[in-house]
Structure 1
Amino acid sequence: MAQIQIQYDDKLVRQFSWATMIWGAVGMLVGVLIALQMAYWPANLSPELSFGRLRPLHTNAVIFAFVGNLIFAGLYYSTQRLLKTRMASDLLGRIHFWGWQLIIVLAAITLPLGLTQSKEYAELEWPIDLLVVLVWVVFAVNFFWTLKIRREKHIYVAIWFYIASIITVAVLYIVNNLSMPVSWMHSYSVYPGVQDALVQWWYGHNAVAFFLTTPILGLMYYFVPKAVNRPIYSYRLSIVHFWALVFMYIWAGPHHLLYSSLPDWAQSLGVVFSVALWAPSWGGMINGLLTLRGAWHKLRTDPVVKFLVASITFYGMSTFEGPMMAIKQINSMTHYTDYTIGHVHGGALGWNGFIAFGMIYYLMPKLWKTEMYSAKLVMTHFWLSTIGIVLYIVSMWSAGITQALMWWAFTDEGTLKYPEFIETVVRLIPFYYIRILGGLMYLVGMLLLAYNVIKTIGIAKANRVDLSDATYKAAPLDTSKETAGPGMQNWHHVLEGRVVTFSLLVFVAVAIGGPVTYIPLVAFKSNIKTIPSVHPYSALELEGRDIYVREGCYNCHSQMIRPFRDEALR
């Protein structure tokens, strides 16, 4: 069979890698600033630079700018090699890159100005939402077009996770951001009350699932075997991991609304599926770690392997902690406390951040055809970041437990031992300074990464390295028909060669959970208790709500009183 010459588009990978490092440093810098504002209030310099407005900027910068660009860099690099074809359209790739950077810049301008929908991970106003959807469609078209022209019949497990991520993020983002515009930069959600809360956390939880988890798992399934030169530990486990995760994740959103006005059946549904997620999540972690069998010695000497193994370990920790925090008794303590802050940063900085660093250190010598400038700086970066994360997480765990115990404390007479909220805040200040130290160490590690990469590129340019796209050879796509033998693996092997069928099954798996939870909430009035004293907002109340949203008060003040004695008394 004749071989075909292929040139991969690595310029696009280099661009997204640069964006990952730049926006990562910006996001971490804003994070350190708002951590300082929590410990030292005069650091809130102006309304535009206050905690309430910068906190959503920090989360958006880390999620969509840092992790988003990381995903695209890794996806474009691995997809071309796994499918043995160049991305279908260079133009669509460039539109995707510059469109995504424009979205980030618009977010960086509008959020400090108080232009926000106030929805977690969906703060951007409606014109920017439309741009996000447009750019995502460009990305999806390029990806699925590339699948159409692939030269590898069977799609590898990493591609499965990319497909699930692209389809599900599109559904989540569009449904959750449906709104009624009242001006060019102001809108209101189309969903009322508790229905809005349910849709928001159906999106919010699954944004973590399908933007911060499944595409990163795809990167894990590609870069870990590459880094250790071993095949993935278990193909069968990959199948179970993928389908169980894709189906179960979408149901777990209501665990963010425990002890709220959401019907009990919906809360219980969220708890059940959240706890069940332990199994597939740890299945993926085990599959990743056991891929190192026979190559554990690399953990001592190879910094790329160190970052990747640490990343998978943090994934295991986060996916143990998440289901644990969904159990009602534990949630009653951790919810509304800094314990949750420690949990999400373990995932974002440990799981996402470390796989980003491992991937960049793996890619840079290949993309610039030059060894890294300093191996010692890479090791320094690893230990700085690791210690920084530990300081951050442990301080927030400690702060969260302290908060809960002080809120719950009663005197012998049955009154609140700490009736003033500020009494709790004062006790937390030392933990907040430890958090600043941990975040600062992580930021310094980011800057070391950027410095090391800049010096590496300088060496490549000094040596006049030819950076034109490398040429590879591949056979044409085998279009012969296949029939499945007995057994799950054989059936799935055939399914992997039928991308349209595979994608439709993914859509069905992720589309079931949302309607099953939401439709009963709308169709049956008995699910929503009607309180006669509740009326629509007056004009003055609506103006007050807009101020509350603009200033970012919602970041700290939920206005939700749970059915607990201490909260009712306070």
Structure 2
Amino acid sequence: MQQQRIVYDDTTVRRFIFAAVVFGIVGMAVGALVASQLAWWQANLGIPYLTYSRLRPLHTNAVIFAFVGNMMFAGVYYSTQRLLKARMASDVLSNIHFWGWQLIIVAAAISLPLGITTSKEYAELEWPIDLAITVIWVVFAINFFWTLAKRNEKNLYVAIWFYIATIITVAVLHIVNSLALPLDGLKSYSVFSGVQDALVQWWYGHNAVAFFLTTPILGIMYYFLPKAAERPVYSYRLSIIHFWALVFIYIWAGPHHLLYTALPDWAQSLGMVFSVMLWAPSWGGMLNGLLTLKGAWHKLRDDPVLKFFIAGVTFYGMATFEGPLLSIKTVSGLAHYTDWIVGHVHGGALGWNGFMAAGMFYWLVPRLYGTKLYSPRSADAHFWLGTVGILLYIVSMWISGINQGLMWRATHADGTLLYPNFVETLLAIRPMYIVRFVGGSMYLVGFCMMAWNLWKTARAGKAVDGETTVVVEDTPAPVPTATTTPAPGWVQVVTGRPLVFAIAILTVTMFLGWAKPVRALVLMGAIVALGELAWIVTRKDREAGRPSWFALIEGRPLAFTVLTLVAILIGGVAELLPTILIQQAVPAHGEAQKPYSPLELQGRDLYVREGCYTCHSQMIRPFVAETQRYGDVSRAEEFIYDHPFQWGSKRTGPDLHRVGGRYPNLWHYTHMMDPRATSPGSNMPPYPWLAENRIRVKDAPKKLSLMRKLGVPYTNTDVDSAEARQKSQGEAIAADLATQGVQVAWDSEMVALVAYLQRLGRGPQEVPPPEVAPTASAAGVQGGGR
């Protein structure tokens, strides 16, 4: 035996903390700006790159991937080395990871305001940046698993389990959802379309929240909370149940974002069932965190670190209660597309992620610089300012969202809409937008106070790297012989009774989404019976002194990783594979199923560039109020040529799926130039640059050719005549506008966008007859626009 001194790489940790704080301030400042733009449209400043619709994706990406991402990496690098008693395997890989991730963030900060986006929520970055994300994530994974291989601690602590789940699941999610064919270096089209694309996107979108904003932060909770409280984790057994239940169930929950849409009912039902099931493991983790503080409550008054941790875990509990609640169909029918969802998301992002980050930073920075926190009083003020800010934000969005949902569906006794003009909703909730801005600004001020406090703390000390001493064996362990008992191996892992029971339970569970009520009750009874039998068998094995199945894999990272991958793939494959058949099953007929004309396709790309999907949905749900307001219910077959889909997730403005033909070309032109001229009270910014900018006419054939590779039935003639058809349709729209005193070039972006909007909900409009276009007065009843 000999002792070996290990010096940890804390330089990388310090870098990630610094980046997290800087980008956190940037992301939250952009959030405050976009919040002000909803209350005061003038805050858009008339600049294309600073409109709400372009900045909103920048805000979400900055908070998720720049702030929480850097915070997560700091926590992972710090805790992993100490839990494994090993320095990170490669300093070179650590440096590549840090600088590569920051370059990706900078690329996002440049490209998104420029309108370079895929329009897929939380995955808006275009294909070159997606490739860079893949490379850097692989670098991170290699460094992490290499460190696992050279560890000096046999068993894997709870936090490591969650880090493993994060690394492998995010990789799977990112690769599948980012599959696209590039048009050029800045533009691509998703390989999925319509319903299939919607399911893939929200399978990714919900699980990005699960495995980027939740599982790694739970790992951080399991390490830093006991450290700060100087108490062991309350229940190791509960942490095991928490991990495996969460990892398996979470992956199924994505379809709850698409309730009452054109998604097949079986997928909606699966999403709802598994979302409700998430209550149990999520609250199990929350209780494990809160009960870890048992015996340390007396420290709360004087320790800001524990205040942030306890509040963060509490907000996690609130968010994981509200999420399953919102996934219930009747609740979703009211809440979806409203500000209630915005409040829910920010409760998790600001309360759970933001407060856990603050607690970790306040605990870590003094230790990384060998000193004490500069101002505990300032940290305490930050806590209360942030808490009040979050509550103002969430409560205002709850009030606003419920108001929206009720006003949209309100009807007179005769069944007609009580509020036919959509803008009436905006006027009613505007005070809540102001309260939201105030609450978000308070949270931002508190975060800036933390940055100052951490900076002063670092200046008062000196950077130090942690170290430890481990005992290393001089000689290798003896090789097992025929007379020795072989160590547990893959056979025991794969044939372990818990795994057999788990597979049986999962198999039965998979049929719940398709089962009718009576059969569902029988299946649930079978699941309970299998669970009870598994518990009895496990208890008898324990009494007999046999090692638990989990103990067999806990010290085997490869087995643990593979089984975690299997757990997440079961749900993903079960939900996504059937969608491959959806497009083939759609009947190929109807005007709405004809491909976009060249000009309409150009206009659709402009719709994506300007971020119109951030405020407008294109999905009319089967509710009486929605069909009265917008038109016929949206059908799956109407979206088969949409790469990517444009269903949206928020209605700051009305749904646009049936807007085609509802208003004349002049209305759309006027609406884009001055929204309040057509919709008094709208908070939509004007888009005058669309009338001045020109489309890239030569791109039309290339776009049609690429779409043909994706399965859109364009012919060779369609591709060859794309420029001529584009010009013909553009000239017809420009001529119609000219008869009403508006002079605009046929190849202007305005004309292309109008062509796309006039297409929505009906067939191609390459030769729109001006004489049958509706008058402006006839269109006014719907109160279009934001």
Same fold (TM over 0.5): yes
2:357 match: 356
Structure 1 CA distance for aligned equivalents of residues 168 and 382 of structure 2:
35
**Residue range with higher mean Cα deviation, 413-422 or 526-535:** 526-535
Of the three residues 508, 516, 535, the one matched with 2:566 is: 508
Q: Deviations over 1:333-353 (max 9, x none)?
A: 110000000000000000000
Structure 1 CA distance for aligned equivalents of residues 372 and 169 of structure 2:
38
Provide the TM-score with structure 2 as the length reference.
0.71
Displacement of 1:540 in angstroms is 1.7
**Residue range with higher mean Cα deviation, 282-291 or 528-537:** 528-537
2:188 match: 187
Displacement of 1:415 in angstroms is 1.1
Q: From the superposition, tell whether residues 545 and 524 of structure 1 become closer, same or farther in structure 2 (CA, over 3 Å).
A: closer
Q: Taking every aligned residue pair, what percent have the same amino acid on both sides?
A: 63
2:466 match: 470
Q: From the superposition, tell whether residues 528 and 496 of structure 1 become closer, same or farther in structure 2 (CA, over 3 Å).
A: farther
Displacement of 1:491 in angstroms is 2.2
Structure 2 CA distance for aligned equivalents of residues 103 and 166 of structure 1:
18
- Structure with higher RCO (Cα < 8 A, 6+ apart): 1
Q: From the superposition, tell whether residues 529 and 77 of structure 1 become closer, same or farther in structure 2 (CA, over 3 Å).
A: farther
Provide the TM-score with structure 1 as the length reference.
0.97
Structure 1 CA distance for aligned equivalents of residues 589 and 11 of structure 2:
59
Displacement of 1:293 in angstroms is 1.1
Structure 1 CA distance for aligned equivalents of residues 372 and 487 of structure 2:
44
Displacement of 1:527 in angstroms is 5.7
- Map 1:385-404 to 2 at 5 A: 385-404=386-405
Of the three residues 584, 594, 609, the one matched with 1:535 is: 594
Residue 597 of structure 2 aligns with an amino acid whose one-letter code is S
Q: Deviations over 1:170-210 (max 9, x none)?
A: 00000000001001100000012100001000100100000
1:411 match: 412
What is the SS of the residue equivalent to 1:293?
Answer: coil
2:128 match: 127
2:768 match: none
Q: From the superposition, tell whether residues 315 and 482 of structure 1 become closer, same or farther in structure 2 (CA, over 3 Å).
A: farther
What is the SS of the residue equivalent to 1:171?
Answer: helix
What is the SS of the residue equivalent to 2:297?
Answer: coil
**Runs of 4 or more consecutive aligned structure 1 residues displaced over 2 Å after TM superposition:** 467-471, 475-491, 523-533
Q: From the superposition, tell whether residues 395 and 258 of structure 1 become closer, same or farther in structure 2 (CA, over 3 Å).
A: same
Residue 147 of structure 2 aligns with an amino acid whose one-letter code is T
Structure 1 CA distance for aligned equivalents of residues 102 and 160 of structure 2:
24
What is the SS of the residue equivalent to 2:189?
Answer: strand
Contact residue 366 and residue 458 of structure 2 kept, 8 A: no
Structure 2 CA distance for aligned equivalents of residues 293 and 432 of structure 1:
39
What is the SS of the residue equivalent to 1:301?
Answer: coil
2:300 match: 299
Q: Does residue 523 of structure 1 match 2:581?
A: yes
Structure 1 CA distance for aligned equivalents of residues 585 and 595 of structure 2:
19
Residue 468 of structure 2 aligns with an amino acid whose one-letter code is Y
Displacement of 1:531 in angstroms is 5.3
1:209 match: 210
What is the SS of the residue equivalent to 1:512?
Answer: helix
Contact residue 369 and residue 464 of structure 2 kept, 8 A: no
Structure 2 CA distance for aligned equivalents of residues 349 and 528 of structure 1:
42
Residue 573 of structure 2 aligns with an amino acid whose one-letter code is P
Unmatched tracts of structure 1, length 5 or more: none
- Map 1:68-467 to 2 at 5 A: 68-460=69-461, 465=462, 467=463
Structure 1 CA distance for aligned equivalents of residues 396 and 382 of structure 2:
21
Residue 11 of structure 2 aligns with an amino acid whose one-letter code is K
- Map 1:42-61 to 2 at 5 A: 42-45=42-45, 46-61=47-62
Displacement of 1:364 in angstroms is 0.8
1:39 match: 39
Q: Which has the larger radius of gyration?
A: 2
Q: From the superposition, tell whether residues 264 and 426 of structure 1 become closer, same or farther in structure 2 (CA, over 3 Å).
A: same
Q: Does residue 495 of structure 1 match 2:491?
A: no
Displacement of 1:494 in angstroms is 2.4
Contact residue 125 and residue 185 of structure 1 kept, 8 A: yes
Residue 40 of structure 1 aligns with an amino acid whose one-letter code is W
What is the SS of the residue equivalent to 1:5?
Answer: strand
Unmatched tracts of structure 2, length 5 or more: 479-485, 493-537, 630-786
Structure 1 CA distance for aligned equivalents of residues 169 and 18 of structure 2:
27
Q: Deviations over 1:447-487 (max 9, x none)?
A: 00111111112212xxxx3x342331012389687559934
2:623 match: 564
What is the SS of the residue equivalent to 1:3?
Answer: strand
Displacement of 1:544 in angstroms is 1.5
Structure 1 CA distance for aligned equivalents of residues 453 and 487 of structure 2:
49
